[in-house]
Amino acid sequence: SRPILDMSYSRHFLDFQGSSIPSTMKKLVVTKLSQNFREAVTLQKDSPVPLPGDGDLLVRNRFVGINASDINYSAGRYDASVKPPFDIGFEGVGDVVALGLSASADYTVGQAVAYVKAGSFAEYTVVPARQAVPLPSVKPEFLTLMVSGATAYLSLKELGDLSEGKKVLVTAAAGGTGQFAVQLAKKAKCHVIGTCSSDEKGGFLKSIGCDRTINYKTENVESVLRKDYPEGVDVVYESVGGKMFDLALNALAVKGCLIVIGFITGYQNPTGLQPIKAELLPAKLLKKSASVRGFFLNHYLSDYKMALQHLLKMYERGDLVCEVDFGDMSPEGKFTGLESVFRAVDYMYMRKNIGKIVVELPHSVNSKL
């Protein structure tokens, strides 16, 4: 360990009562581009702990979130110019353990914060203070809102045009972001249909207000939609892709809107996409005056803080369930430590999770915080 106060950079660094931060840490690094997460990513055990600059926070991560798009990032699909090695992980919740002088105007050591920034799959992450979100405490539930909750809130608000009585179909409804799409659509007094892969997930969906659950392992989604909703559905919140996209498109009502927030079935494919019957798309949209809209959170960052504050207030009032899945029911047990991120990604792609998958990073034994 080394003391935080080191004269070589003390002008930009605030001490925390002589506490010590280790000089090295574990982190996950993409060392090879591949849609196979285990092939692409390496656990490095002796990386230097980064130092915060003048406007930065050094956050000791306590919980990190798993996202379906972690695989897209490790495959290099988001930015072709970025070459390995590079850090991975999109979001974290933890404690500020050191900070730059300018950052100390708004933050203090020991404060709980959340953030969205590449490089969260590490014991410590440097986060620009302006990108951090102060929290009342370190709780994994807050992590569910950072990417998953904000995606559901902003996409439905900006593109969904929700109003009372509309029929909303949510695919992968019991997942990290689907759970919020269901609840937010219900708050808008819509009728909500959710697809899922087990009766247990169906039970969870009913508990958060879903009006009709469709277990696609035991029911034919297309038949159910045609029989129960002959006029079609007004809004689809779609994250599965492939055949599910085709089904959802065919189920749209006149003037309906299909919002694409992902296509998880294609992420593990070397090509990245499962083909859809797109050659019929123009005719299908024209026939119904319908639309297909894509939503990528990065394009809506100007509204991000507003969305997050709204969701945090809802959660604190008890108006929002933030379901966290630590993998307690997985064969090797709870996801603890960076080593378990690999298992957590596999668990997501096996469609086992109910709610947001979160990995807990245990306290370092030599830290006084």
**In 204-238, which positions are buried (b, 16+ CB within 10 angstroms) versus exposed (e)?**
bbeebebbbbbbbeeeebbebbeeebeebbbbbbb
pLDDT of residue 15 exceeding 60, the answer is no
Binned at pLDDT 50, 70 and 90, residue 2 comes out as very low
* pLDDT 10s digits, 274-308: 677 777 999 999 999 999 999 999 999 999 999 99
50 cis-preceded (ω within 30 degrees of 0): no
**How many residues can be counted in the chain?**
369
List, in order of start, the domains of the chain with CATH numbers.
8-138+323-360 (3.90.180.10), 146-299 (3.40.50.720)
Q: What's residue 360's pLDDT? A: 98
Q: Of all helices (H) and strands (E), which one includes residue 24? A: strand 24-30
pLDDT higher at 81 or 356: 356
Residue type, 255: K
pLDDT of residue 263 exceeding 50, the answer is yes
Q: Cα(286)–Cα(292) distance, rounded to whole angstroms?
A: 11
Q: Is the distance from CB of 89 to CB of 147 less than 8 angstroms?
A: no
Q: Cα(130)–Cα(57) distance, rounded to whole angstroms?
A: 10
**Which residues are registered as beta bridge partners of 360?**
63, 336
- Within the chain, how many helices (H) and strands (E) appear? 11, 18
Binned at pLDDT 50, 70 and 90, residue 81 comes out as confident
Tokens 């245990």 belong to residue: 362
